[in-house]
């Protein structure tokens, strides 16, 4: 594969941001994944930006680009870039601390889209796509069970139990909090907050998808 970076996935602002990075390293100090991954260099924001910037220039300039040290994203460089791009959690800390205000989260999304265009993405995503298409959730469970987390509440509120058809707000619980027991405390706690605040809300239960 000779070309693995396409500028079409990047907005004009993002192409400018690739050049705006000053490599100050402030983002590296705040990246939790970099710390967790035993300081893997490819996960750092400045390295991902450098890889894409170099790849685009190498493609645009051809042999001349190589004279300036620009490298196409192939082989080991592509493997490292892919790892760094997909291991990112999108926490956004790098965006908050960036002194030149690079909108990193949207930049990382464009990088992932570019990789997907090339057919490069973690294999488990194929299974996830199939499950989502077949069951309208990521776990494969029946959507009728989306309120199972509420069974452990001391009293099921009207907004959760399906007794309300209209409300000022809808609490969207999501797949993970609905189906994974280790996450049940999230919607349980949120409902208690809403009840204590006297909020007029409802959940969508099996129709949430």
CATH code of the domain in which 109 resides: 1.10.1060.10
| 105 vs 94: CA distance, rounded Å | 8
**132 inside domain:** no
What domain count does the chain have? 2
150 and 181 inside one domain:
yes
Residue 107 inside a domain? The answer is yes
CA dihedral 69, 75, 80, 83 (to 10 degrees): 140
- Predicted TM-score (pTM) of this structure: 0.73
Residue 138 covered by a domain: no
Geometric angle at alpha carbon 51, from 46 and 56, rounded to 5°:
125
Q: Which of 90, 122, 154 is the last residue of a domain?
A: 122
- 147 with 54, same domain: the answer is no
Is residue 71 assigned to a domain?
A: yes
Residue carrying the six token digits 């004009």: 12
Q: Answer whether residue 47 is part of any domain.
A: yes
Q: Are residues 22 and 94 in the same domain?
A: yes
- In angstroms, the CA 10 to CA 107 distance is 8
pLDDT in tens, the chain (209 residues): 445 677 889 999 999 999 999 999 999 989 998 888 767 788 899 899 999 988 888 877 777 767 677 777 788 888 888 989 999 999 999 999 999 999 999 999 999 999 998 889 999 999 999 999 999 998 999 999 999 999 989 899 999 977 788 999 999 999 999 999 999 999 999 999 999 999 999 999 999 98
SS3 helix, strand, coil % of the chain, rounded to 5? 60, 0, 40
Same domain, 96 and 156: no
Residues 112 and 153 in one domain: no
Question: Is 130 a member of any domain?
Answer: no
Q: Which domain holds residue 55?
A: 7-122
């Amino acid at each position: 594969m000779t070309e693995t970076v396409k500028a079409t996935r990047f907005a004009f602002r993002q192409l400018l941001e690739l050049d705006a990075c000053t490599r100050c390293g402030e983002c590296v100090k705040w990246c939790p994944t970099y710390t967790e991954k035993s300081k893997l260099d490819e996960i750092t924001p400045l390295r991902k930006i450098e890889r894409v910037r170099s790849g685009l220039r190498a493609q645009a300039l051809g042999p001349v680009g190589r004279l300036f040290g620009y490298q196409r994203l192939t082989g080991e460089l592509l493997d490292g870039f892919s790892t760094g791009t997909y291991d990112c959690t999108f926490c956004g800390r790098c965006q908050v601390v960036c002194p030149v205000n690079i909108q990193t989260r949207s930049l990382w999304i464009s990088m992932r889209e570019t990789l997907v265009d090339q057919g490069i993405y973690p294999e488990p995503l194929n299974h996830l796509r199939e499950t989502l298409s077949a069951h309208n959730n990521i776990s494969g469970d029946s959507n009728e069970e989306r309120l199972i987390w509420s069974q452990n509440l001391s009293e099921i509120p009207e907004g959760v139990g399906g007794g309300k058809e209209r409300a000022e707000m809808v609490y969207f619980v999501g797949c993970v909090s609905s189906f994974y027991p280790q996450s049940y405390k999230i919607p349980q706690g949120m409902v208690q907050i809403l009840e204590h605040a006297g909020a007029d809300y409802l959940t969508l239960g099996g129709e949430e998808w």
